[in-house]
């Protein structure tokens, strides 16, 4: 099963902790989700995506995800996100279907872009620590 990650699950340490295994590099391909923008969730360190026909969300396509791992990912994302099958474009310019976690309307999204580098600097340590508890 393919998954597209645009947010915190792009980080290898967090992804490994959530999935309970390190995904081999051959199963990870840089990709984009056209028609969406990755934005901050108000009051949180993690992102959501907003439809935006003039934009695309950067991320990674991860293949070979098992049903058990998919269940772990869904638990990690929580009740504010739903999984949808959407089409992404890989760096090789191929189109692939992938599960994408999209925010439900109850998730308060800003219009400010979310940045993984900033997340790593400001939020990662606490985020990982909370996952250990």
> Each residue of 25-63: pLDDT tens digit?
999 999 999 999 999 999 999 999 999 999 999 999 999
Structure tokens at 45: 């360190």
Our count of domains for the chain comes to: 1
Q: 40 is in which domain, residue-wise?
A: 3-132
Q: Strand 28-41 vs strand 47-62: parallel, antiparallel, or unpaired? A: antiparallel
Based on the number of CB atoms within 10 Å of its own CB, is 109 exposed (0-12), middle (13-18) or buried (19 or more)?
Answer: middle
CATH of the domain at 46: 3.10.490.10
Q: Along the chain (133 residues), what's the average pLDDT of each consecutive run of 10 residues?
A: 98 95 95 98 96 97 97 97 98 96 97 96 89 63
């Amino acid at each position: 099963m393919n998954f597209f990650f645009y947010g915190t699950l792009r980080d290898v340490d967090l992804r490994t902790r959530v999935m309970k295994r390190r995904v081999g590099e051959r199963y990870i391909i840089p990709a984009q989700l056209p028609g969406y923008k990755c934005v901050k969730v108000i009051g949180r360190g993690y992102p959501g995506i907003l439809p935006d026909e003039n934009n695309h969300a950067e991320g990674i396509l991860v293949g070979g995800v098992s049903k058990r791992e998919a269940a772990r990912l869904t638990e990690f994302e929580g009740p504010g996100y739903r999984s949808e099958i959407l089409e992404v474009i890989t760096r090789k310019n191929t189109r692939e279907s992938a599960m994408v976690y999209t925010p439900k309307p109850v998730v308060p999204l800003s219009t400010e872009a979310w940045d993984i580098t900033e997340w790593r600097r400001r939020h990662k340590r606490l985020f990982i620590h909370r996952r250990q508890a």
